[in-house]
Structure 1
Amino acid sequence: MDAADSSTTHIVIFSWLAFGHLLPALDLAERLASRGHRVSFVSTPRNISRLPPVAPALAPLIDFVALPFPRVEGLPEGAESTNDVPFDKFDLHRKAFNGLAAPFSAFLDAACAADGGGRRKPDWVLVDFIHHWVAAAALERNLPCAMLVTFAAGLMAPLGRPV
């Protein structure tokens, strides 16, 4: 199947900037691509460069979308992943992360405008737990959005109500 085939489902995945989230999201992207779906995997340049390579047969179906990580005073240069951030600077990392809202919206605008010419606008947006602004961006563009929760069930269970 051609990666630009307009009959394939196009899924945008935007994971939290921690490798415990990025790696499972990449695995999901590969599994979706193995079923013929096109995936736009959104992250930052440094995080994308540190991901393991995608299987060559799946690479044509996975587009890596690098959003420039905003500079925040006090945050170490190149601190795009939580692995790069000292604990006392975590608030600055989250502040920089929230600065990705406008570039992400611009990406969605471009992706939605690309409908046709063999490219397909996104059918779904899968978002991680901390991306409070992604659902609004998807809703503004009439794109279905689902939360991808990579936590263990035991951690999430206390948050639910008994049935």
Structure 2
Amino acid sequence: MSDSVGIAVLGLGILLFVVTVIGLLIARPSPSTELPPKLEPNPPTPEQVEDALVELEQFFEAGRIKAAEDADNRRWLRPIGFVTRLLTYAGLFLLLYNWAPRDISNTPLGSLTPSDIVGTIGFIAVGFLLLRALFNPSDDDETKDAWGGWVSRFWASPS
């Protein structure tokens, strides 16, 4: 019974695939169909050009205002971001210490399990990665601002 159902489902799948391929081949437009003629745009009037320049100037002015606000935010967010980063690493080191594997330095090698060895190696690797990240932070300005940005999201006033 199950063999005949499997063969029927497989045959139905093949039939649907063939019908789909044939339908795509039939529905494909022939290369001889003509495209609509290309229309040339009308040149802009001097008033339209002036309006576009005014809009462009307003756009750049808004960008300058946003950049000035970002610089003000950066000035007070950088120290908060520095402290936040240090507190985050302190928490990660506490978690690492809390989940430290058992000491295998005095255990005979024959009684160790692979999970004991891998756990100890992983503990050491994560510790080195955390130390490297703590003493070699990113020099990217966006990353530095992101640490302070987390704090500012909690203190941001609704607008």
Using the size of structure 2 for normalisation, the TM-score is 0.23
Find the structure with the greater CA-based Rg. 2
Higher strand share: 1
Q: Which has the higher helix share?
A: 2
By relative contact order (CA 8 Å, sep 6+), the higher-ranking structure is: 2
